[in-house]
A and B are shown apart, each in its own frame.
Chain A
Amino acid sequence: DAGVIQSPRHEVTEMGQEVTLRCKPISGHNSLFWYRQTMMRGLELLIYFNNNVPIDDSGMPEDRFSAKMPNASFSTLKIQPSEPRDSAVYFCASSSSPRGQYFGPGTRLTVL
């Protein structure tokens, strides 16, 4: 069974450009999470969806960040415009219960 799929795995872009990160959760999971990992702040939750509805977006750093989940099998995290401080590894995770969240391989974003 396929795990959480993220694309792209690596993204290098220039400041000011729009960046879109994609996630396909594990089939049957009804919760989806976006996390960001940096050296300074560690792993932090950006936004959480349940049954495709955003439940908690308090971790989204600012208006430049937006996330959508148009259906149960796809989610996007968009940064527009991107800034160098957005450079990080972005993880998507999915879950069907408190049993545990399963993480994708991450997208390493570098903003020059």
Chain B
Amino acid sequence: AQKVTQAQTEISVVEKEDVTLDCVYETRDTTYYLFWYKQPPSGELVFLIRRNSFDEQNEISGRYSWNFQKSTSSFNFTITASQVVDSAVYFCALSEVDSSYKLIFGSGTRLLVRP
């Protein structure tokens, strides 16, 4: 059965610190997709990134970077030089081809960036 685990319930950092959010997933499929979403205090869910299971290349987008490792079933998210505006709940999600792409979400990690 598919499952996404975000063990860090809440993280608090001081502005400009780097922070890594962990995500571990379980799936029996060989073809799947992994996602990160951001939910700021306003409540909407903002799509950040998608990765397919055949692409283990790390990705960097500005201050954001993602480390996908199939060997450890992990898809971790790092924010470099965090800012107060990064404060939000971050969700990791898994989508399997066989399940018609429905998303299975982790429980989320609440990030608080203090000035």
Interface residues of A in 66-110 (CB under 8 A from B): 89, 91, 93, 95, 97-103, 105-106, 108
Taking a contact as CB atoms under 8 Å apart, the answer to whether B47 and A89 are in contact is no
Taking a contact as CB atoms under 8 Å apart, the answer to whether A105 and B52 are in contact is no
Complex Cα distance A89/B108, Å? 15
Number of A-B residue pairs at CB separation under 8 A: 53
Q: Tell me if A15 counts as interface (CB < 8 A to partner B).
A: no
- What does DSSP make chain A's interface, helix, strand, loop or mixed? strand
- Please name all residues of chain A whose beta carbon is closer than 8 Å to the beta carbon of B69 when the two chains form the complex: none
Complex Cα distance A97/B35, Å? 13
Taking a contact as CB atoms under 8 Å apart, the answer to whether B101 and A95 are in contact is yes
> Given that A42-B107, A43-B105 are known contacts, is A105 also in contact with B100, CB under 8 Å in the complex?
no
Complex Cα distance A93/B35, Å? 14
Interface residues on B, range: 20 to 34
Q: Tell me if B64 counts as interface (CB < 8 A to partner A).
A: no
Question: Shortest beta-carbon distance, B25 to chain A, in Å?
Answer: 15
The CB with the most chain B CB atoms within 10 A, among A55, A93, A100, is that of: A100
Complex Cα distance A57/B47, Å? 24
Complex Cα distance A34/B52, Å? 23
Taking a contact as CB atoms under 8 Å apart, the answer to whether A102 and B47 are in contact is yes
- Identify the B interface with A (CB < 8 A): 33, 35, 37, 43-45, 47, 50, 52, 91, 95, 97, 99-108
